[in-house]
Amino acid sequence: MLSTYEYPEFPYRQSEDQKSGKVVRRPVIVAGGGPIGLTMALDCAHKGIPVVVLDDNNTVSVGSRAVCYAKRPLEIWDRLGCAAEMVDKGIVWQVGKVFREEDLVYQFDLLPEEDHKLPAFINLQQYYLEEYLVRRAADHGDLIDLRWKHKVISVHDQGDHVSVQVETPDGVFEMECDWLIACDGANSDVRKMLKGAFRGQFFQDRFLIADVVMKADFPTERWFWFDPPFHPRQSVLLHKQADDVWRIDFQLGWDADPEEEKKPENVIPRLKAMLGEDTAFELEWVSVYQFACRRMDTFRYSRVLFAGDSAHQVSPFGARGANTGVQDVDNLAWKLKLVLDGKAPEALIDSYSEERVFAADDNLLNSTRSTDFITPKSEASRAFRNAVLELSHDFDFARPLVNSGRLSTPTPYVNSSLNTPDEEPFHSAMAPGTNCADAPIGRDGEDGWLLNALGDRFVVLVQGEDPGVESLDVGGVPVAVLVVGKDIDDAHGRIEARYDMRPGTTYLIRPDQYVAARWRAFDAEKITAAVNRALCR
């Protein structure tokens, strides 16, 4: 098989802690250097928290796993300074098409609106994504200590800290931390060490992944077939990735023998049936996967916090795995910083679990529904599925029922205890608990974007009327005041439209760019109360 990608080999180095035999206490250790652990490390560094990342391996993700990254995680990586190269290398797309046999039955556009900095989706091989995150982490060498071939082998909760035993090529040594962030993937060792509950559903189906290198003129759209003539009674998904690598997923059914299916003599005929006898391609990667939808009961076990696949696992339909894991980090990092600095009580860490368990349930529900539609497990559900597909060809009402994987979007924390409820009506989706929509702005005579101006601090965004203060201090936590019309310009009127702004309208925005509260007028007392509420004080 041809591999267009050269896997990096990151160097193992024995640490000073191990050499000296002295147990050193760190504020934060991250177990696992996959996409979520690396993003966690970057966000810690961004907030000035020194962090040690322990990874049992010394390269990036091998083979073909995640492909599609959504707008919100791209916005988070943009905040951390690494989205540009992902977007440059990746394939930008927003249109998906669903076929039944050879007929187009449904088509969707994930971002019909203009004026967003980042695209609805990019496709990029997971190995590139991780390589870029590692490279960015190296830029923070003063704060991020990335240790390869460091396997976490035991974890003990000591009440006010965690002790962690680590195995390296030089033997076993011990470290301590105030908080351990377990980002060690779906088979998390840390979860097993703490006997963490991880429950859900396993699906009885198998999919073949074939990554092929070819020059093809399919448009850069997501194409999904139900029951295509080249793979009858099953489904097929096609995505373009970087370097002319195309990812094709063939549903195989539960009875398929994974070892047989992976053999080139079995894969190549499937590909030729789909692409045509004359299309030239080379196989880059072949594997067979099964999937599960499950989550931990809580993402906080005392001083150990779970994020990414260690905390929740979804089927790949809808591209929700890494996309939601990055949002775990976005939710956690600012809370951790304020708790470490003594500016918020530990209850704020509990709100991480509260909000992200809620998001995980939303992802699990969507992922399970998609999986049930794509892989019906009874003749009755197959008949329902086929009726929906048939009707959707001619009738609008049936189209929203077609479910080839609802693609990842952020979950609003509608019932979060950190939200201050509205007192007055708003005609905008930006309700408390919702992530802020981006908008083009002008600032200091330059074009820019609202999310970049918000950054990762508490911000009060006020429309038009200058309250006469540049910032507030709420018990040692600074809250910046940003006046639209004075500090930033609403270049295309998108802030007004997206946030239902009127003169005086005031939004309180959390450091993860979620709305905490909003009012029709600036009121320092109300803002102070809402900040305290968002900090669990």
Ligand X SMILES: Cc1cc2nc3c(=O)[nH]c(=O)nc-3n(C[C@H](O)[C@H](O)[C@H](O)COP(=O)(O)OP(=O)(O)OC[C@H]3O[C@@H](n4cnc5c(N)ncnc54)[C@H](O)[C@@H]3O)c2cc1C
Task: Supply 221's token pair.
Answer: 């759209």
Between 151 and 533, whose beta carbon lies closer to ligand X?
Answer: 151
Between 37 and 96, whose beta carbon lies closer to ligand X?
Answer: 37
Distance, CA of 381 to CA of 205 (rounded, Å): 15
Please calculate the CA angle 535-71-299 and round it to the nearest 5 degrees: 40
Closest separation in Å from C-beta 317 to ligand X? 9
410 binds ligand X (CB under 6 A): no
Between 54 and 87, whose beta carbon lies closer to ligand X?
Answer: 54
Between 68 and 531, whose beta carbon lies closer to ligand X?
Answer: 68
Alpha carbon dihedral 37, 40, 42, 47, in 10-degree steps, equals -160
Site for ligand X in 121-140 (CB under 6 A): 126
Between 230 and 289, whose beta carbon lies closer to ligand X?
Answer: 289
Between 259 and 525, whose beta carbon lies closer to ligand X?
Answer: 259
Site mask for ligand X (CB under 6 A), range 188-227, x = bound: -x-------------------x------------------
322 binds ligand X (CB under 6 A): yes
3-state DSSP assignment of residue 211? strand
User: Are the C-beta atoms of 224 and 404 separated by less than 8 Å?
Assistant: yes
Positions of E strands within 112-234: 121-123, 144-147, 151-157, 162-168, 171-182, 198-213, 222-226
Beta strands 95-100 and 222-226, pairing class: parallel
329 binds ligand X (CB under 6 A): no
Stretch that binds ligand X, among 27-35, 277-285, 382-390, 523-531 (CB under 6 A): 27-35
Closest separation in Å from C-beta 537 to ligand X? 31
User: Are the C-beta atoms of 427 and 505 separated by less than 8 Å?
Assistant: no
User: Are the C-beta atoms of 463 and 503 separated by less than 8 Å?
Assistant: yes
Query: Which residue in 18, 29, 34, 339 binds ligand X (CB under 6 A)?
Result: 34
Site mask for ligand X (CB under 6 A), range 42-81, x = bound: ------------xxxx---x---xxxx-------------
Between 190 and 481, whose beta carbon lies closer to ligand X?
Answer: 190
Closest separation in Å from C-beta 328 to ligand X? 9
Question: 358: buried, middle or exposed (CB in 10 Å: 19+, 13-18, 0-12)?
Answer: middle
Closest separation in Å from C-beta 465 to ligand X? 41
Task: Supply 259's token pair.
Answer: 């070892």
Between 237 and 515, whose beta carbon lies closer to ligand X?
Answer: 237
What letter does residue 341 receive in the DSSP assignment? T
What letter does residue 344 receive in the DSSP assignment? S
Between 331 and 505, whose beta carbon lies closer to ligand X?
Answer: 331
Closest separation in Å from C-beta 234 to ligand X? 16
Site mask for ligand X (CB under 6 A), range 168-187, x = bound: ---------------xxx--
Query: Which residue in 13, 89, 97, 151 binds ligand X (CB under 6 A)?
Result: 151
State the sign of the Cα–Cα–Cα–Cα dihedral 392, 396, 401, 404: positive
Distance, CA of 337 to CA of 345 (rounded, Å): 11
316 binds ligand X (CB under 6 A): yes
Closest separation in Å from C-beta 248 to ligand X? 12
**Which residues, 6 or more positions from 326, have their beta carbon under 8 angstroms from its beta carbon?**
35, 36, 39, 72, 73, 76, 77
Query: Which residue in 80, 83, 129, 152 binds ligand X (CB under 6 A)?
Result: 152
- End-to-end CA gap in the chain: 58
Residues that bind ligand X (CB under 6 A): 31-37, 54-57, 61, 65-68, 126, 151-152, 183-185, 189, 209, 289, 308-310, 316, 319, 321-323, 325
